[in-house]
Amino acid sequence: MTRTVLSSASKEVVIGFDEPFVVIGERINPTGRKLLAAEMKEGDYSRVEADALAQVKAGAHMLDVNAGIPMADEPRILAECIQLVQSLSDVPLSIDSSIVEALEAGLAVYQGKALVNSVTGEEEVLERVLPLVARHGAAVVAISNDETGISQDPDERFKVARKIVERAADHGIGREDVVVDPLIMPVGAMDSAGTSALNLIRRLREELKVNTTCGASNVSFGLPNRHHMNAAFLSMAIGAGMTSAITNPLHGPEMAAVRGADVVMGHDPNCKAWIRAYREPAGDGEQGRGGRRGGRRRRSA
Amino acid sequence: MADNESPANESPPEDEGDVVLSELDDGDLLIQMHDDLYDGLADEIIEGVNILLERGWEAYKVLTDALVEGMRIVGIDFRDGILFVPEVLQSANAMKAGMAILRPLLAESGAPRMGKIVIGTVKGDIHDIGKNLVGMMMEGAGFEVIDIGINNDVDAYLAALEEHQPDILGMSALLTTTMPYMKVVVEALKDKGLRHDYIVLVGGAPLNEEFAENVGADAYCRDAAVAVEIAKGFMAKRQGSAAAAELAAQ
C-alpha cells in the first residue's frame, strides 16, 4: 500500500490506495488568465488570496500554486505566493513550475512537505529536479513524457514513468514520493484516449505501485458539457485506481463525482463526507441541525 | 491519522473542546447524551449510562430520559430529512451499546415496557435495512423488539407470535412482487381468529396507505420514525381500553 504523505506546518494529507481521493485545486495559475497574470506581475495577490480561500472552502485538500508568467521574476513571485497561501490556509501545497529555479525558491520558503510539480522523463530535467526534491524531502509529480515528447502508446508512457521512479530511487526518493501523471489525452481527439488512460492508471498502480494524479479537465477538451465529461472520467479513473487530481474544486459535477466515487470505493465511512457536503443547509435563524443543541464533541479515539 | 481520512476537509465541525461527562450535573449530562446519540458516539453513551447508574439512577429512568428521549430527537430529524440513514444507523448503534448495559438491569427490576413487537421481512424478500432501522428505532423508543429476520413465511410469523405474544406484528417488504404476501399473513391470522390479538403494522418502499388497508393491516408506516409514532399511538389506545375494561370489571 503506497501512501504519499504531504504536509503544511500543521496539517497532513495522504494520497493513497486506501485513502479518499485527493483534490488538488488548480486555480492559482496565471496560464490563460490574463488579469491574474498582470496582477501577479505587479505584486497584487488579492486574486491569489481569493482563489486559495474559495478552493479550500469548496473542498480542495491541497492547492497547486503556479506563477508561470512570461517575462516576470517567476522564482520570486512563486515564493511570495506560497508564503501568502500558507499564511491563509493549512492545506499542503503543490509547487508548480517548469523552471527549476522557481521550484527551488518555492521549496526554500515552504513549511512542511510539499509536492513538487513536476519532473519529466527528460534527462536534463531529471538530473536537476530530483536532487532538489531529495534535498528538501519533498514528493514529486512525475509526468510520463521524455525528450521524444508524449507518446501515443500507453506502454511507452508506462516505461517513462518506470524510468522516473527508478531514477528517483537512485536519488533516495522512494516510490511513495513519486506521484505519476499518466497524461490524459482529449477523448474528443482520440476515441481510445479514455480506455488507454484507464489501463495505464491500473498498470501504474498494480505494477509500479505508485500514486497517480492528472489534469482531469484535459479529457473533455473541445467538447460541450465538459464538467459532466470530466465527472464521468474522474469516477471511472478512481475506480481504476487513480488517487488524486489537479482540478477545479469549484465545479460541482467534478466534486460530486469524486465524493460519490469515494463512497463507492469504501473510502467514506458512513457516507460522512457525502452527507456533510449535500445535506440541505439549516434555514435562517436555525442553529446547527435539527434537534441537536450542543457543540460537537471531539471523539476521544 | 491523516486529516483527509474523511474526504471532506471542508468546513470542519465546530469543536468546543472535549467534554468530561463525569463532571456534568445530571441535567447537562442528559443533554450531552442526547447530542452524543445524535452523533452516534457509542463509547460516550456507554460512559454516560454507567455514570447515571453509578449516581443511583434506576435503569428504567436512564432508558427513558437518556436513550429514548435522545432517539426521539433523532427520529424527528430523520423524519424531516435532516438526518440520513447512515447517521441514524450510527445513532441506533450507540443506543444499542447503552441498551446492552441496561437490558439485564431492566429484566431484573421488571420495569415497564412500552410494548412488544415481532418484526420481519415477508417471504421471498431479503431486504432488511429499513426493517432493521424500524427495529432499532422501536427499541430506542422503549419497545421490546423481536426481530425474526428476512424471508418469513406464514408459519414463521405465526410461530413467533405464539412464542413471544407481542402487542404488535410488523411486516416489511421492498418489492412489489413480495408485498402481497402481507395479505396472506393477515388472512391466516383471521382464519385462526387471532387477527384482533395484534396490532398489524406494515411498511416498505413500494407500499402506501391504500395498500395497507387493502391487506387488512392496522396502519402503513412511511418510515422508521413514523412507525414509532404510530406504534406508540396504538399502544396508548390499547392500554387505555385495557384500563377501561379493568374498571368496568370492578
Judged against a pLDDT cut of 70, whether residue A229 lies above it is answered with yes
pLDDT in the model for residue A270: 93
All three cell numbers of A124, joined, read 536534463
> What is the nearest CA distance from A60 to chain B, expressed in angstroms?
8
Nearest to B122 by CA among B163, B192, B170: B170
Contact B87 A21 (CB under 8 A): no
Identify the closest residue of chain B to A56 by CA–CA distance: B10
Identify the closest residue of chain B to A301 by CA–CA distance: B43
Of the partner residues B13, B36, B90, the one whose CB lies closest to the CB of residue A270: B90
Start-to-end Cα distance in chain A: 24
Cα(A164)–Cα(A125) distance, integer angstroms: 10
pLDDT in the model for residue A147: 87
- The label of the residue with cell 413471544 reads B164
pLDDT tens digits along A243-296: 999 999 999 999 999 999 999 999 999 999 999 999 877 655 554 455 565 444
Interface with B, mutate which of A3, A275, A296 (most B CBs under 10 A): A296
Cα(B89)–Cα(A299) distance, integer angstroms: 18
The residue-averaged pLDDT of A132-144 equals: 96
State the sign of the Cα–Cα–Cα–Cα dihedral B243, B245, B248, B250.
Answer: negative
pLDDT tens digits along B173-186: 988 999 999 999 99
How many other C-beta atoms can be found within 10 angstroms of the C-beta atom of residue B144?
17
Of A45-49, A149-153, B208-212, give the lowest mean pLDDT range.
A149-153
Cα(B37)–Cα(B30) distance, integer angstroms: 10
pLDDT tens digits along B121-151: 999 988 888 898 888 888 888 899 999 999 9
Interface with B, mutate which of A21, A292, A293, A298 (most B CBs under 10 A): A292
Cα(A30)–Cα(A81) distance, integer angstroms: 12
Nearest to B83 by CA among B6, B19, B5, B137: B137
Q: A192 CB contacts (<8 Å, ≥6 apart)?
A: none
